């Protein structure tokens, strides 16, 4: 990874994420779904908060709009930090494992922040209708857009056996989150850091007489 491939990877992921979201937003009604396979569905939802629709207003005594604004501003600050971290690593000649992970995380974060900042202005709402692109008035104001999600993998969709206490007879579904390409990019980047951390952050070899191997003359 170098000064060309890092921006290229970020651009490709960001372009793919936004292209898919644009297609979903301008071709699907909110809640519409397509069954691709029994274990893979395209489901159009809009996420107002963080992962699994969590909101700051669920945790703090603030309004939904204030919580949404605070979350968006926090994401912007986080993107600034990730951008600086990636730039610094690139300047230091970091290895490809670290730069790939950083690029994926940054691209995913940018993809979702575009939704939050601009989509409220760029589209009409999708309730019972196909959204219009570049309307005279959007469905929300600046910083209050909703993140478009569409990927759904219910890997297990069954019912608890009747003999199971409390849960018996009730539906059981794993994995029931609906997400997008930006989320996949972030998760992949974090996964690289967790699984290949020793390669992403190699330990520096101490250069001292006791640890250095004697070179043949």
Q: Which positions are catalytic? A: 149, 183
Return the half-sphere exposure (C-beta side, CA atoms, 13 A cut-off) of residue 64: 8
């Amino acid at each position: 990874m170098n000064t060309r491939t890092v921006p290229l990877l970020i651009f490709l992921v960001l372009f793919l994420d936004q292209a898919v979201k644009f297609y979903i937003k301008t071709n699907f009604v909110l809640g519409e779904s397509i069954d691709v396979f029994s274990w893979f569905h395209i489901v159009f939802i809009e996420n107002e908060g963080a992962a699994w629709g969590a909101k700051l207003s669920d945790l703090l005594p603030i309004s939904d709009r204030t919580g949404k604004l605070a979350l968006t501003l926090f994401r912007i600050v986080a993107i600034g930090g990730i951008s600086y971290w990636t730039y610094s690593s690139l300047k230091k000649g970091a290895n490809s494992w670290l730069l790939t992970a950083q690029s994926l995380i940054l691209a995913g974060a940018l993809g979702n922040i575009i939704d939050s900042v601009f989509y409220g202005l760029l589209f009409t709402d999708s309730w019972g209708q196909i959204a219009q692109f570049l309307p005279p008035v959007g469905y929300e104001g600046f910083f209050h857009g909703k993140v478009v999600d569409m990927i759904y993998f219910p890997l297990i969709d069954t019912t608890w056996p009747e003999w199971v206490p409390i849960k018996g007879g009730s539906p059981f579904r794993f994995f029931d989150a609906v997400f997008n390409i930006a989320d996949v990019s972030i998760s992949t980047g974090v996964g690289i850091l967790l699984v290949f951390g020793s390669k992403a952050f190699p330990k520096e070899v101490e250069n001292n007489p006791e640890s250095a191997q004697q070179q043949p003359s």
